[in-house]
Structure 1
Amino acid sequence: MLRNKRIRLVIFLIFTIIFSSEACIYNFYRKEFVSEDKKNEEALLLAFLGLLPNPNQKLFGFFPATSRNLSNSQFLNAEWFPKSDKKKLVFVHGWNPAERDSDPITSDEKKIQNIKNTFLNGLIHFQEGRNSASSEFDLYLYTYRTSNSILVNGRQFYSTLRANFSDTDSVYIVAHSMGGLVTRVTLSRESGELPFIRLVITLATPHFGSPFASRGFLGSNPFANELGSYLVDTQGGSELAYTNAGNLQTTLNGANNLVLDVLNDSYIKSGLNTKFISFAGILSNCSLGETFYYNTGCTILNNAGFTQSDGIVTVNSAQLGNMSLKQINVSDCDHSMMAFQTSNIDDTKSLNLFSQVISEIRNNP
C-alpha cells in the first residue's frame, strides 16, 4: 500500500515538474541547459518554457533525388515542405554521443549529419523506391539533443508534431533506439492527444533500458566502462538505464529506472502499447555484427546471462516485454544495423529490414 502511494506521488511530481509552465522547472532541469554561451542558455530556457522552438531540435522534410551522395539541400524545414495527400513517415534517430548539454546550439548542417549518421541507408532505400515507399509516403526526419532528458525531448517532439500535422493526416513514426523512448513520452496522455499518429515502429528501442547505461553493471570491466560511460554522464543517457520492473525482465542486481517505470506504467493503464510494433535485433553469434563495439557488448551481455541482444539492448527490452501490438525479431543485426545501417547499402539485411518496416505499416493502417 505504501509503495503504491509512493509510486503515485512520484508520477504526479514527474509530470507536474515536466509539463507545467512554471519558471521553477528551469532550475530543476538547469543541468539540461548548461552552456558557456549565455545566448544559448537563454534560447534553451525560452524553448523549455514553450516560448520558442527548441533550437537543438528540428523536423525536416526529405526530397528524394538520384545520387546516393545525399545533399543537404534535400532536407527542408518541415514548415516549408510541400504538403501532399500522401501518408507521412517520420524517422527519429537514437543516441548521439558526439554532443553534450554544454555544446553550442546545433547548426542545421550538424542536425542533418546526425540524421545521416543513423538513417543514411534508409534514406537511400526510400529515395530509390524500395518497396514503393516513396510513391506512398512523404518522409520527415526529426532530430534532437539526445543528452537532454527524454521527458524534455518528448514533450518538445509533441509540440513539433502538433505544429506540422493536422488531425486528418496519417502519420507513422519509425524510431531507432532512444528515439522510441522520446516518442513514448510524446504520445503519453500527459503530453496530449495526437490522433494523426496511426502507428509507431520501434527499432532496438530499450523500452526497459540497457545494462550499459547502468552504473552497477559497468563495474570494473574497462571496455564496459568505455562503452557505457558516455551514456550515464548525461541526463538523457542516465534515463536509458536498465530496470528490473519491466514485464518478463531478467533481473539485474540493483537495477532501477524510475523514469521508464513511470512511463511504462502509464502506457499499461492507458492501453497505448497497441500503437507500437517493436523490432528487436538478435545476434546469434557475437561476431556477426558489423560494429566492434556491439560485438564486444554482445559477449559481455552473454557472460552476464543476457543471451539475446543486439550488442547493447537485450531482446526483452527491445520487445517491450511482449506488450506491444506485435514483436518482430531480426536475425544477426547489431544495434546500428537495426537502423538499416550496414556497411554495404545494398546488403540484404538492410534492404529486407526496410521493406519489412514499410510492410508492417501498410498492414496496420
Structure 2
Amino acid sequence: MFRNKRFLQLLFHFIVFSFVFQTCIYDFYRKEFVSEKQKNDEVLLLALLGILPNPNQKLFGFIPGTSRNLSNSQFLNAEWFPKSNKKKLVFVHGWNPAERDSDPITNDEKKIQNIKNTFSNGLIHFQEGRDSANSEFDIYLYTYRTSNSILVNGRQFHSTLRSNFSDSDSVTIIAHSMGGLVTRVAMAKETGSLPFVRLVVTLASPQFGSPFASKSFLNSNNFVNELGSYLVDTQGGQELAYTNNGNLQTNLSGASNDVLDLLNDSYLNSGLNSKFISFAGILSNCTVGETFYYNTGCTLLNNAGFTSSDGIVTSNSARLGNLSYKQINVSDCDHSMMAFQTLSVDDIKSRNLFSSVISEIRNYP
C-alpha cells in the first residue's frame, strides 16, 4: 500500500492518462527482453501500456435463452453482439480472491464462469422477463483480473467502454463490490469522459474500503488473520482496504487507503457522485446471511463497532457516506446476496433486489 500521497498522485495520473511514446517502448522491450518463454508477460505489459487489450479482461453481450442452466454460448464477444436501439446495462463483478497475477491468462470459459458466479440469478431474472427488463435493455457483462490494481483495471474498463459504445448510447453500469471501485476509476475525470454512461448502480461496493482488507483489523482477529492475509496479498486486494477518510466514517485504528482517498477526492471536486446510486446490504443480526462466512464477518464487525454491514462491507462504505445521488438499504442480504446470488434463484430477496435496481434505473432523471 502506498503511503506517500504525492507519489500516489503521480502514479494515478501516470496510469489513467494515455502513455507517451508507446511504439518506442514496445520496440525497446521487444529488442531487449522478449523470449518465447516470456510471451504471456509481454502481452500483459503491452496491455498495461495501452498498446493491446488486456487478455484477462473482456466485455460480453448476453443472449437470453430458455434454460436456467445458462450456456456459455449465450455469452457473445461484445464486438459480435447485435447492436440495437435498446438502452444498455453493463454488469461488473467483484473481487475473485482465487486469481493471482502469476496465473495463466484467463480463457473465455473461465471468464464466463467468473461472471456466472456473481450474476447468474440476475441474468435468469432478465431472460425470464422480470419487470420486462429484457424488452427495454440489452445486457453486457465485463470481467477482469481482480488481483490487478483498480487503477489499471479502471483505465482498461474505460477503454473497453469507449471501444464498444457511442455517445448516442444510453448505458447504465451495475457494479457489485470491487466492480464499483473499478467503475469509479473508469468514470473519473482524470481517466476521460464517458458521456454515454447515464448512471452507475453500485451493489455493496466498498467505496470507503472494507475492514477485512485492512491489516490492522485482520491482525486483531486471529480467526481471520491467516485467511485474510492471503486474500489481500495482491495489489487489487490491498486497494480494498478501509479508509478513515470519508463522510460519516467510523474510525478504525491504523486504517488508511491512499488510492481510495485520492479517487474520492477527485469525485468530490467533479460532481460525478450525482451519477451514482448506492445499494447497501444490512444484516439485522448475524444469523440471517446465507453463508457461515458472512455471518461470522458480521459478528466480527459488530464486535469492532461496525454495527451495520453485509458481513464484509460496512453500510456507510457501501452508501458512500450518503454522498451519492441516492442510497438504498437492503434488509437481511449478505454480501453475495447483494449481487442477486441467493441460494435459490426464486428467493424473494433476489427477485426484489433485481426489481428495485431496474426501478431505480428507470426513475433516474
TM-score range, shorter chain: over 0.9
Whether the aligned pair in 2 keeps the contact of 1:218 and 1:225 (CA below 8 Å) is: yes
Q: Which string of whole-angstrom CA distances, capped at 9 and with x for unpartnered residues, describes residues 9-61 of structure 1?
A: 642443135535157999xxxxxxxxx96211011111111111100000000
Superposition pairs for residues 110-189 of structure 1, below 5 Å? Answer: 110-189=110-189
Tell me the CA shift for residue 229 of structure 1.
Answer: 2.1
2:9 paired residue number: 11
Taking the aligned partners of 1:120 and 1:302, their CA distance within structure 2 comes to 30
1:29 paired residue number: none
- 1:251 and 2:256 aligned: no
Q: Which string of whole-angstrom CA distances, capped at 9 and with x for unpartnered residues, describes residues 288-317 of structure 1?
A: 000111100000000000000000000000
Whether the aligned pair in 2 keeps the contact of 1:230 and 1:237 (CA below 8 Å) is: no
Indicate the SS of the match to 1:265. helix
Q: Which string of whole-angstrom CA distances, capped at 9 and with x for unpartnered residues, describes residues 298-338 of structure 1?
A: 00000000000000000000000000000000000000000
Whether the aligned pair in 2 keeps the contact of 1:224 and 1:297 (CA below 8 Å) is: no
Tell me the CA shift for residue 232 of structure 1.
Answer: 1.9
Q: Which string of whole-angstrom CA distances, capped at 9 and with x for unpartnered residues, describes residues 256-315 of structure 1?
A: 000000000000000100000000000001000001111000000000000000000000
- 1:268 and 2:281 aligned: no
Superposition pairs for residues 190-205 of structure 1, below 5 Å? Answer: 190-205=190-205
1:42 paired residue number: 42
1:233 paired residue number: 233
2:31 paired residue number: none
Tell me the CA shift for residue 339 of structure 1.
Answer: 0.2
C-alpha RMSD of matched pairs (Å): 1.8
Q: Which string of whole-angstrom CA distances, capped at 9 and with x for unpartnered residues, describes residues 167-215 of structure 1?
A: 0000000000000000000000111000000000000000000000000
Taking the aligned partners of 1:304 and 1:179, their CA distance within structure 2 comes to 26
- 1:210 and 2:213 aligned: no
1:68 paired residue number: 68
Q: Which string of whole-angstrom CA distances, capped at 9 and with x for unpartnered residues, describes residues 227-259 of structure 1?
A: 522332000000000000011100000110000
Name which of structure 1's ranges 36-45 and 200-209 shifts more when overlaid on structure 2.
36-45
Taking the aligned partners of 1:25 and 1:182, their CA distance within structure 2 comes to 26
Indicate the SS of the match to 2:185. helix
1:31 paired residue number: none
Tell me the CA shift for residue 346 of structure 1.
Answer: 0.2
Query: Do the aligned partners of residues 221 and 354 (structure 1) sit closer, same or farther apart at CA in structure 2, a change above 3 Å counting?
Result: same
Unaligned runs of 5+ in 1: 1-5, 27-35
Taking the aligned partners of 1:189 and 1:353, their CA distance within structure 2 comes to 30
Relative to the length of structure 2, the TM-score reads: 0.93
Taking the aligned partners of 1:147 and 1:225, their CA distance within structure 2 comes to 19
**Aligned partner letter, 1:252:** L
**Aligned partner letter, 2:14:** T
Whether the aligned pair in 2 keeps the contact of 1:88 and 1:170 (CA below 8 Å) is: yes
Unaligned runs of 5+ in 2: 27-35
How many residues are paired up?
A: 351
Taking the aligned partners of 1:37 and 1:314, their CA distance within structure 2 comes to 44
Identical positions, percent = 79
Name which of structure 1's ranges 172-181 and 231-240 shifts more when overlaid on structure 2.
231-240
Taking the aligned partners of 1:190 and 1:220, their CA distance within structure 2 comes to 37
Indicate the SS of the match to 1:278. strand
Indicate the SS of the match to 1:242. coil
Taking the aligned partners of 2:309 and 2:158, their CA distance within structure 1 comes to 30
Superposition pairs for residues 267-346 of structure 1, below 5 Å? Answer: 267-346=267-346
- Pick from 19, 22, 28: which aligns with 1:21? 19
